[in-house]
Structure 1
Amino acid sequence: MTHTTIAAPLAAALAAKGYDSLTPVQEAVLAEGIAGRDALVSAQTGSGKTVAFGIAVADQILQGNDKLLFADTPIALAIAPTRELALQVARELSWLYAEAGAQIATCVGGMDYRSERRALERGAHIVVGTPGRLRDHIERGSLDLTGLRAVVLDEADEMLDLGFREDLEFILSSAPEERRTLMFSATVPREIEALAKDFQRDAVRIQTAGERKQHADIEYRALTVSARDREHAIFNVLRFYEARSAIVFCKTRLAVNHLLARMGNRGFQVVALSGELSQQERTHALQALRDGRARVCIATDVAARGIDLPGLELVIHADLPSNSETLLHRSGRTGRAGSKGVSVLVVAPSEVRKAQRLLTGAKLVAEWAKPPSADEVQERDDARLLEHPVLALDLADEMPLANALLDRFGPQQMAAAFVRLWREGRSAPEVLQDLTPPDASTRAPRERGEFGEAVWYSIGVGHTGRAEARWLLPKICEAGGITKNEIGAIRVQQDNTFVQIAKAAAGRFGDALEIEAGVGMMRLDGEPSLERPERPARKPYAPRPEGRPTSPRAPRDEAPRREKPAYQPKPARFVDDAETPRASGWTPDDRPTKAPRPRREDSAPFAKREMHDAPRPRRDASDEASADRKPARDDSRKPRWSPDDRAERSAPRSAGFKSHGGKSDAAPRSAGFKSHGAKSDRPARTGDDSRPQGEGFKPRSTDARPARPAGERPFKAKTEGGERPPRAGGFKKDGFKKDAPRKAPKADASDPSRRFTPPKKPRG
């Protein structure tokens, strides 16, 4: 392939890859007037966008040279939303720039950070990565964007949906302003247009013809199945088409794991692809699909963007996508580069209108049909066996063994054994409930009005069974295999419920049908009586006082007003003074009587206690300076004390008794003992202590104490030199000897032949 505007190294790589012509999007980026300008490109998935932006930025990367020299800093940067797409872009650019000698480094989350840093230090011309890991390298200083000439954002709308706007703004703000910025996306919502205005200069909008006619090579089919047959329908679809590789999309990781286990038990060669897997596990799953070791991939929407699986022929939407854009990206995994594909939507009766809205929003037309039945799957298997290419090959090497088998078992037995072996490696088809696909009138929004001809059914549960219409509606749809459009009124009564079913769909329910264990529907001959029983009359309210407005309240101007009673002054408070003036109309005899407090005639008049007569101690002015000083104790409030009590209390305690009453073997305390039993060198106090003591006071011993010399303390006696005298026996305070003479040896110390050897210090 030759093209006048493609650089020679890239043209050689495209020719070696087998490109005979360029796709519409690749032609659009090479059109006149686009070179060197920022561009916002929208094209359908599988249209060759990766090669398109690789060709578009060739002028900024090569700059007229056929070979690239060593680059201290990257020249081009490509940003992708997912790890798989980033690695795929790196593989595409590797063979595209192989002739030019470009070094390509990847910065992808989940990979070894140190390996990526070493690759950047060795020098890379093009860097491909995800937004989070690229920002991490920039903040750590391992990625320098000062020499950047071109930036490409692949699947920009998906990066915004995943919450990478802040990371994108940080990365683009770190790049030079004179760079070239290209944005590629399958759809261009408002957020992408706003991002383009912020980070692009005079951008040109490129819209290819493929975007106006989405996925012309993909056949869309919508299969209506009951909720209980959803998984069985997926198995039959896989068996019916027998695609070389297929992908099944689910909403959640839990659904992926559940379907993976179910399909693995049925013998499908299946792998999973979800966000909870490590990058190594996701890479191995994709490689298994490329190598043919696996034929079915169960994935979440993380795999819906940019992944190119060669030979992917079938896409199944086990769960409907959330919007039309996701439907396009999911289906875009098949029908790529001119190949054909099938996209199947598994639709429950309650999701018919949602599926139609998704198809309308994506500007797609799908064929509504029933899922393949067990007989159809078996018939397709038999036809595939008869058309197997091995039967038309020249098998001369196997003829001797074949003739021996025919002679031994016969042709019919051999053919039957061959059919049995063919069917053993495949799961048996599932028997599904027969549902009629909805017509166009059913899929269209229904206008409010008359429901039409209908049949009434009675359900044996009502308010007493806590039944509600929102609980019964899916049960009825699932039991009869109908949509909610065939259900009219639902009237919940006290003990039962009446349901209106369209006459055309009433045959699915028959005369009676059980929608749940213990809950059944029964057909009625006519229309039931939906009149509510009359409630018992309420008890009349008490009559309102005259002049008070009734409900509804009368206007304020018309409502009669009540006259306020005449003001009456309150009576004066009663006092003992008979001359105090009182309110008019009152006499001392009219005062309220109150029983006087009884008094005993012979009781003595109340006298205050003497302890209260004592003046309270006051603090001097000098004491007020210290606010935290403890106030003086007022001993005048304590019981009186006499010297006789002291003499009685100071008697020695009887032997063998403690202060708390328990017996003790210790002798009576003597002078010089503390309260806790330890000896003290302080002499006992002498003399009489006339200080009053409180109740429970323990007097000190009355034994005579020696008089203390003036200015001398027994514990801190010092010598004339001011030094403490040595303790007796050469002992320290803790009991070890100090400066004590060593123990004399057994032999005579004066013998010069015998010398004393001090004992060794014990270890530890």
Structure 2
Amino acid sequence: MTEFEGIVPAIAQALAKRGYEALTPVQKAMLDPGLAGKDALVSAQTGSGKTVAFGLALAPSLLEGADRFGQAGTPLALAIAPTRELALQVQRELEWLYELTGATIASCVGGMDMRTEKRTLERGAHIVVGTPGRLCDHIRRNSLDISGLKAVVLDEADEMLDLGFREDLEFILETAPAERRTLMFSATVPRSIAKLAENYQRDAVRIATASEAKQHVDIDYRALTVVPSDRENAIINVLRYYEAKNAIVFCSTRAAVNHLTARFNNRGFAVVALSGELSQSERTHALQAMRDGRARVCIATDVAARGIDLPGLELVVHADLPTNPETLLHRSGRTGRAGNKGVSALIVPLSARRRTERLLEAGRIRATWAKPPSADEVSQRDDERLLADPVFAAPIAEDEQSIVQQLLERHGAEQVAAAFLRQYRTGHSAPEELQDVPAEGERRKPRRDDFPVTHHDGPAAGRNDFTDGVWVSLSVGRKQNAEPRWLIPMLCRNGGLTKRDIGAIKMQPEETFVEFSQEGAERFLSAIGPDKTLERGIRVKPLAGVPDFSQAKREGTYGKKKPFADRDARPKDEGKPKWKSDRKPERAHAGEGSVSERSDKKPWAKKPGKPSFAKNDGSPKAGKPNSRAARKAAKSRGE
């Protein structure tokens, strides 16, 4: 019991009752006698037991030497968390930790009935746990009196700032008594957190129990490369291969959560969804279903990336890659907690390989690159689990003897075993057949000389046409600004090709024809999947034989106009007037009363009052007089 020395007796009993045998580093650090009564800025990796740590640290100052709390009144401590789930989890942790002290712990979180929370606060509470926005609402409405606070705890402080709660936090800290203890817990300590600590803590002790942004030693990171069209099938095989007691699949959007939830429900998985569009009641029920074992897979957005603690969570799957290393660490931190082992699997499309490498490097994470489990590997793993099932080691009970004997006599041992095997497999979703992904050596990072310099209407520079080339059509052409400089690297990247696999490229206005070697075409079509779609929504259509480029050019360039053949057959001068006078009738002034060739028009008579535009005899220039002297001379002549 040496681990629990220096802890309030009632708290120590609660730890022993919970099955604690040793404290985590952050919990030991918070029990340091030199930290008693002081402010602290603590950075510790996720899953390190921070809630119990600050519970242990607060107990002496809140109890003030007593074994139990007295009548509840205004709160003595306030714990602030960024999300509803984390706040409710903190409440549950503190409830069992302070169970024997008689503490009353209330929660104030968004999404819950505010009137119920107000009535709870009116009855009194020793500790209040809540989210920043809801706590501010209660303080402004005078339903939460924080004038008697002895301590304030900010859990996941960096996340609260990222979510835009700075103003709410500053309001709470400024409203709380100045003579209080302030504890800040954060996975990382960026400049914003350091500034917040400087403004609202007094001589805070800096505690770092683990290097910031460091991967959890109990998490096995695996990067699984897949063909883009096989992403969902790969997730199914990963879930089936590990058969984790609990698993979380992270998506980037709510729509993706809804899609995968429906897909996995249809495949027989016990699934729940967790996203921001759900009410607090629905989210609570979803997490409770995971804890009760009624569900084994949770499909979630990043709302579940922080603070969610699911006992026995053994597997985290990143269906959509996280946008930054911090999110990757917090997602993965849902597993490998409290000394347990876990797996964090990233589903990496071929086109996202380099981005994933940068993400892992930025997070200082070492991951094992591999292919997703194949259908055969999943089936083999099922057989291993079946043979190792403890059910075979249990002795036969007396009430089972009779029916066992009847089964063996009627059907025989082999038939009974086969029936058991079928029943076992019926309860598991069948694995998926995945397309083959090029090996690392074949799918190396393309070099500059892998991308041939290609003319629009010729083969790749430096090589001859293939004698057995296979042609495909791409749904992009000159009108879509298609250029070999980005088109060829895209083909190599998506299909695992090099310049030796690409032959001639014929670019048309609306489509592009590309020639591949026989082996390259097979690898390319296999890599892009059955939907045959590349980046930018470019569709691929395999062709039988060599395309008719002239026909494609006519159809693609001129659309609904007459084909070249009809246009070329017409004489150039047929139907086209050669001179302007051939197109319009001559507007000649043949004399007074004369008319043009178009008899339906009035004669081109000279209008009165207008000077004639015919040449004026004796004038310096033809046409209308353009000088004062010329106008005077014309006036003197009576013109």
TM-score by length of 2: 0.76
Corresponding residue for residue 270 of structure 1: 271
Query: Residue 584 of structure 1: CA displacement?
Result: 11
Q: Distance in 2 between matches of 1:332 and 1:502?
A: 46
Q: 1:303 to 1:357 in 2, by over 3 A?
A: same
Residue 568 of structure 2 is matched in structure 1 by none
Q: For the residues of structure 1 that align with 2:360 and 2:520, how far apart are their CA atoms? A: 26
Q: What does residue 419 of structure 1 align with?
A: 421
* 2:32 pairs with 1:27: no
Tell me, yes or no, if the aligned pair for 2:41 and 2:205 is still in contact at 8 Å: yes
Q: CA deviation at 1:459?
A: 4.9
Distance (whole Å) between structure 1 residues aligned to residue 499 and residue 182 of structure 2? 50
1:451 positional shift: 3.4
How big is the shift at 1:8? Answer: 2.2
Instruction: Tell whether the 8 Å contact from 2:227 to 2:527 is kept in structure 1 after alignment.
Output: no
2-structure distance, mates of 1:264, 1:460:
38
Inter-CA distance 590–113: structure 2 relative to 1 (3 Å threshold): same
**What is the SS of the residue equivalent to 2:376?**
helix
CA distance in 2, matches of 1:295, 1:42: 31
- CA RMSD between the two structures: 3.5
Residues 475/430 of structure 1: CA separation in 2 closer, same or farther (3 Å cut) = farther
1:218 and 1:343 in contact (8 A); partners too: yes
Is 2:363 the partner of 1:362? yes
Amino acid at match of 1:421: Q
User: Is the CA contact (8 Å cut-off) linking 2:325 and 2:362 kept in structure 1?
Assistant: yes
Deviation track 1:80-100 (CA, whole Å, cap 9, x = no partner) reads 011111011011111212222
C-alpha contact (below 8 Å) 2:250/2:301 kept by paired residues: yes
Shift of 1:334: 0.6
Matched residue of 1:20: which SS?
A: coil
**Compared CA separation, residues 449 and 413, structure 1 to 2 (3 A):** closer
The match for 1:381 is 382
Instruction: Name the counterpart of 2:524.
Output: 509
Pair 589,188 (structure 1): closer, same or farther in 2 beyond 3 Å: closer
Q: Is the 8 A contact 1:378 1:429 kept in 2?
A: yes
Matched residue of 2:99: which SS? coil
Counterpart in 2 of 1:493? 507
Per-residue deviation at 1:485?
Answer: 12
The equivalent residue for 2:635 is 591
Secondary structure in 2 aligned to 1:205?
strand
Report 1:420-435 matches (<5 A).
420-435=422-437
Equivalent of residue 405 in structure 1, options 388, 407, 418: 407
What is the deviation of 1:320? 0.4
Map of 1:53 onto structure 2: 54
Shift of residue 362, structure 1, vs aligned partner:
1.3
Q: Percent identity?
A: 61
Tell me, yes or no, if structure 1 residue 520 matches structure 2 residue 542.
Answer: yes
Q: CA deviation at 1:142?
A: 0.4
2:482 corresponds to: 468
Cα distance in 2 for partners of 1:490, 1:25 equals: 64
The residue correspondences of 1:243-642 to structure 2 (distance < 5 A) are 243-396=244-397, 397-438=399-440, 442=444, 449-451=448-450, 459-461=472-474, 463=477, 466=480, 468=482, 476=491, 480=495, 482=496, 493-494=507-508, 497=512, 508-509=523-524, 515=532, 519-520=541-542, 590-591=634-635
Contact 1:352 1:483 (8 Å CA) reproduced: no
Q: Distance in 2 between matches of 1:32 and 1:217?
A: 30
Contact map agreement 1:42 1:208 (CA 8 A) in 2: yes
Tell me, which stretches of 5 or more residues in structure 1 are unaligned?
Answer: 525-582, 596-764
Give runs of aligned pairs for residues 633-672 of structure 1, distance below 5 A. none
Q: Do the aligned partners of residues 70 and 345 (structure 1) sit closer, same or farther apart at CA in structure 2, a change above 3 Å counting?
A: same
Larger Rg: 1
Deviation of the 1:511 alpha carbon? 12
Residue 228 to residue 587, structure 1, CA distance change in 2 (3 Å):
closer
SS at match of 2:220: strand
Q: Does 1:193 align with 2:205?
A: no
Does the 8 A contact of 2:435 with 2:527 survive in 1?
no
Find the aligned partners of 1:351 and 1:377 in 2 and give their Cα distance: 25
Q: 1:667-706 maps to which residues of 2 (within 5 A)?
A: none
1:379 is displaced (CA, Å) by 1.0
Aligned-pair CA distance for 1:477: 6.7
Q: Please say if residues 318 and 346 of structure 2, whose CA atoms lie closer than 8 Å, have aligned partners that are also in contact.
A: yes
The answer to whether structure 1 residue 242 and structure 2 residue 243 are counterparts is yes
Give how far 1:198 is off. Answer: 2.0
How far apart are 1:71 and its partner, in Å?
4.3
Corresponding letter in the other structure for 1:94: E
> Do the aligned partners of 2:450 and 2:498 also contact (CA within 8 Å) in 1?
no
| Cα distance in 2 between the residues matched to 1:373 and 1:37 | 55
In structure 2, the CA distance between the partners of 1:586 and 1:340, relative to structure 1 (3 Å rule), is: closer
Q: 3-state SS of the aligned residue for 2:450?
A: coil
TM-score scaled by length of structure 1: 0.64
CA distance in 2, matches of 1:62, 1:386: 54
CA distance in 2 between partners of 1:268 and 1:587 (Å): 102
**Is 1:168–2:169 an aligned residue pair?**
yes
Which residue type is aligned with residue 542 of structure 2? G
- 1:16: how far off? 1.9
Instruction: Give the direction of change, closer, same or farther, for the CA distance of 1:393–1:193 in structure 2 (3 Å limit).
Output: same
Conserved? CA contact 2:437–2:527, under 8 Å: no
- Structure that is richer in helix per residue: 2
Stretches of structure 2 lacking an aligned partner (at least 5 in a row): 454-458, 461-469, 534-538, 547-626
1:367-409 alpha-carbon deviations (Å, 9 max, x no partner): 0001111111111111111111111111133121111112112
Post-superposition offset of 1:440: 12
Output aligned runs, 1:54-93, within 5 Å: 54-93=55-94
Measure how far apart 1:483 and its partner are.
Answer: 8.6
Higher mean C-alpha deviation, range 250-259 or range 383-392: 383-392
Aligned counterparts of 2:314 and 2:374: Cα–Cα separation in 1 = 21
* C-alpha spacing 1:378/1:83, structure 2 compared with 1 (3 Å): same
Q: Residues 586, 320 of structure 1: CA spacing in aligned structure 2 closer, same or farther, 3 A cutoff?
A: closer
Q: Deviations over 1:486-537 (max 9, x none)?
A: 999997834564779999977613899994666337999xxxxxxxxxxxxx
Alpha carbons 1:368, 1:438 under 8 Å: kept: no
Shift of 1:442: 3.9
Corresponding residue of 2:203: 202
What's the CA shift for 1:426?
A: 1.2
Offset of 1:12 from its aligned partner?
2.0
SS in 2 for 1:427: coil
Amino acid at match of 2:315: L
Label 1:453 to 1:522 Cα distance change in 2 as closer, same or farther (>3 A): farther
Name the aligned partner's letter for residue 468 of structure 1.
A
Change (3 A) 1:585 1:126: closer
Q: How many residues align?
A: 533
- 1:415-439: per-residue Cα shift (whole Å, max 9, x none)? 1111111111111111000103546
